[in-house]
Structure 1
Amino acid sequence: MKDSIIYSLFFFFFFFCFGDFADSLTPDGLSLLSLKSAVDQSTAGSAFSDWADSDASPCRWTGISCMNITGFPDPRVVGIALSGKNLRGYIPSELGNLVYLRRLNLHSNNFYGAIPTQLFNATSLHSLFLYGNNLSGQLPPSICNLPRLQNLDLSNNSLSGSLDKGLNNCKQLQRLILAGNHFTGEIPAGIWSGMENLLQLDLSDNVFTGSVPEDFGDLKSLSGTLNLSFNHLSGGIPKSLGDLPVTVSFDLRNNNFSGEIPQTGSFSNQGPTAFLNNPLLCGFPLQKSCKNQAPSSPGNPNSSPGSDNNPKKGLSPGLIILISVADAAAVAFIGLVVVYIYWKKKDNANGCSCTGKTKFGANTEKSRLCCSCINGGFGNSDSELDPPERGRGEGELVAIDKGFTFELDELLRASAYVLGKSGLGIVYKVVLGNGIPVAVRRLGEGGDQRYKEFAAEVQAIGRVKHPNVVRLRAYYWAPDEKLLISDFISHGNLASAIRGRNGQPISLSWSTRLKILKGTARGLAYLHECSPRKFVHGDIKPSNILLDNESQPYISDFGLNRLITITGNNPSSGGLMGSALPYMKSSQTERANNYRAPEARVQGNKPTQKWDVYSFGVVLLELLTGKSPELSPTSTSTSLEIPDLVRWVRKGFEDENPLSDMVDPVLLQEVHAKKEVLAAFHVALACTEPDPEVRPRMKTVSENLERVGS
């Protein structure tokens, strides 16, 4: 490294004293040449191929951005972006001479050595992205001498030492990401309350010890994830973290925290994964009661306050009375159950039954009144009892919603046409005799020995009742045919709305897009948190988000993969509906599913709710950018298609590209929506985090979107 520094100094001395270009190349260009000389040229590739010392200005060089500054005849360098170039070398101190440098982006290379303190003479720096290198040494205390510093990402390096309390001078800092280094010691307290603009804090995968500072709770602007995982932090989790915004997710895994998890404020929004691998932690949401971890008394660490050392001591009189009262209450409860069953049977004897065993379409007033008592509650099942014993012979329609009154013959005689075809079956639009359209999905012919399993799955799907989820109304079971009958949603799907039916996209206003996003998020959150099975959809994409004539979204196709597995046959082959209804080949081209989460693309992985969160994030990005992440394997890329939309957007934010470069041009006309669009981008980036554990729950996503535009 010393040889490289000597060479750099000689390089500059030679340039200034003897070079013919010294009078032509700007001072900023000369400073940049120090970076070229500091890099091993065998690793440079084409990164510096156009960095010619004979140029008058460096502004056309690869990775260099310039801007006209008042009072200077020549443009000044404001950005350096040479990320992911496999460059090996050190960061030269001469870059500190670039006094108008705003962004330094050298991440994902092989730079080594310490971060030079002279770099912070470039006082205009507001974004420093040096992650993914092999930088060593301490975090320079003078780094907060940069008055405009907003983004500091030094993750995945070999930095060490402790954090300096001088960090409290970083008043404008918005992102502090130091994950994946070798920092040690305690996280300093008393500095965080001054960081009023901090949005992201990631100190994970270091060697920090001690307790979590109480003033973390003062980070009122924090969003996304507070990540302290994979350290050696200990002690109790401070209750002050509950004062953080409810949208903040915690990641405190793999530490040595102890005691009970607080239950106040934003703690109520955290899932169990936030606290895993802390053996001494207890309490909700962990399935580990704190009753078995009684607090230690001062005199005896193995005893709890008020304990008696005499193991033969019997039950207290108060406890005996309590047990007796509980026994009496249990007897009374059993008596009430017996009386309820008696009156229930008596009601059924009088002809009022809600078991679903009557003929499909029964419509007596008495039956409606009886069933309304069961179905009155929000989210309750229309048939909470066991699946009816059907499907053993000719096949029969089974009502999930008793409001539907039609027979199988009427269904087969009705006018119909194919809406689409996929691995989840052919979907028909069927118009009944009363003029009501329904969607009929044909699942296949097999699975005749698994009726009870099939019926139980269908009943679970039928219990889902939410304004943004397609409602299942009935099903048909026979040995040679399985059909699902659900609501028909009139205005196609979101994919058609975005891309158009004939290649002509429909112009969606920001308010319409926001309405679609909010409704879809609410529906997904319901499936994850409130549905009987806590469903995982597993295939969220625009074609599975249906729209009505008011652009209200409806999530479709959830729970179908399991039903296809049960039926075990190709749903697109002949069968009852295949012969009774006209067949039309779907015109939809099969496209690569780039909405899937990275872990979902690994064969053998089971679907999780975090898959859905990622997929929803990609849909959100598509509505924000107007660019599709899907590419047809038979077509070439167009300006509206981005093979990796998530990576493209992330790079845009890292490089601090103007929002106008990423957002759908249609939305640029709605000036009032700029702040809302930016807020939605942050939600999308949180949803599409590579690590599924870091992604928020859909409930949190929905709550964040509800705040946008409200």
Structure 2
Amino acid sequence: MRSSNFFTFLLLMALLVLHERTTAEDDSSGFRGYERDALLDLKAGFNSSFLDRNWTGIMCYMNEAPYWHGIQCVNGRVTGIILESMGISGEIKTNALANLTELSLLSFKNNLVSGNLMEFANNPKLRKIDLSDNKFQGQIPSSLLYLDSLESLLLQENKLTGPIPGFNQSSLKTFNVSQNNLSGAIPETKTLQSFGLSSYLGNEKLCGPPTRSSCNTTIASSQSESENLSSKGDGPPVGAILVVVNVIVLVVIMFLLIIYYKKYKKLKAEMKAKNLLPKDEEHDSTIVDRTMEKRNREIEMGKLIFVENNGPRFELDDLLKASAEGLGHGNFGNCYKAMLEVGPVVVVKRLKDLKPLSSEEFMRQIRAIADQKHPNLLPLLAYFYSKDEKLFLYRFAAHGNIYNRLHGGRGTRNRVPFRWSSRLAVARGVARALEHLHLNTRSQTTAPHGNLKSSNVLLDENDEVLVTDYGLSSLIALPVAAQRMVSFKTPEYQSHKRMSKKSDVWSYGSLLLELLTGRIPAHSASPGTNGVDLSGWVHRAVREEWTAEIFDPEIAVQRGANQGMLRLMKIAMKCCEKSPEKRPEISQVVAEVEEVKVAVDSEDEEFSYSSLDPSVTDESLSATASAVIADDRR
């Protein structure tokens, strides 16, 4: 009995030592399990399939790069959450950040997040907060007043109500609460009064400087007291009398203004007839607007406008002095590789055939493009606008585009095989980028990308997939777009002049078929190149049982890959349905592509083309190839 108790005692001591050692290791690594739990609770309130797939395992360890998208870490501790323009919806609990005590950067910019703002009492190191362009409601929490290191607070374009707390941190240099439903007097602290009117616009019930509305609380209260007293007497209410008097005064003022205006016009006409009017006075009052517009153009002329906050900076002169190399003639302008003397290698796209947009309209469209941020989208670095020249600047993707990677060098010794695993990685990266564009585009009658094809999918120095040329349909003139953009080659546009998000799904299905077959689609073939109506060709191959020729020989010979290739083929055929209503949503496509395996372990894998479902290989798959080819050859 004693020996049994002694053995139990030793076992408990061993478990205690092991627990202490594990805790010590956990502390030394900096990793905190409760921080991971807090992030998972945060994700549980979101509606984001991307985060559901990406936020798994450990988010970060020591000083290694974070494993989770949008998370920043130092010594294993979470210091930043940056989830911008991802179409995230859902509601955040007010105590969601309580266990993230090392947090210094928080941004949910341009999403659809709702609910009350979080409490920040346990986040004393927060420096930058950007919750703009969401659906947050309720009051601004007073816990923000105790963030002594707060440098930037952006809460514009939400549904916040109530007063503005009395922020007075000397560290606060950026502040914006415009386009909300805030009310009351703006606190007269040194910090809040240092920001201009633009930080408070769109809140009709705010008063006091720097707004033009005076609060008049004393007058309002005295009027209220007078009304209460008069309601007790016998005569008419004082408030009603004041309203009548105000209306009469306004009518008289308007009447006098009308008389004055008529006399002014008559006098001006007489002076003009007698040549007594100075030349400057002959201009309409809109000359002020024209002068401001001209000044804005002059400011922007000769300057590169950068849209990446943390990107490189250089002047137009530096770009003009850089050695350049032509990269080809695109549908909407030539592209050049520019190697700056000091700075990064960039790609310059000279835009042509644009809509007749004003500078303001052009910049508004550019901002919409620049706001689309995703790991698989090539970001716009900068742009240049003048009357005769429009430029886009991107970072250079060292490994070129998928069209050249897939079709270049075939039959030569210099050909580097494009393996199945690499092609599947491209399919996944493009699908994720397309899903992001679709989730962040509200219009149902446009294709968010509009020109998806293999030459617009790039590989950087790490072979990361980057989709480019998105959003150009908002800039390109319609007749030119109809001839050159892929979304205008879809069956629904060829037959009914219709377009939707499903047009991008059709383009994606065509890209998958190009990756699987190694053949060039008719709708994106360059001049002088014979393209194939891929969906119709695959349909005939299945129907006539010469299916052995479907897959590109470079991947068909890879052992264990056939089942994955067949599954991706089925997805592609569903995407290429002639009727948009029969095509899947892009989020469903992403989920299915993510499940496709690179290889099957079994060496005795059975592969049967007969498993292709005839329901997705009927005549509806075949697009109007003759019309497409005719358009491309014009």
TM-score by length of 2: 0.45
TM-score by length of 1: 0.41
**Greater helix percent: which structure?**
2
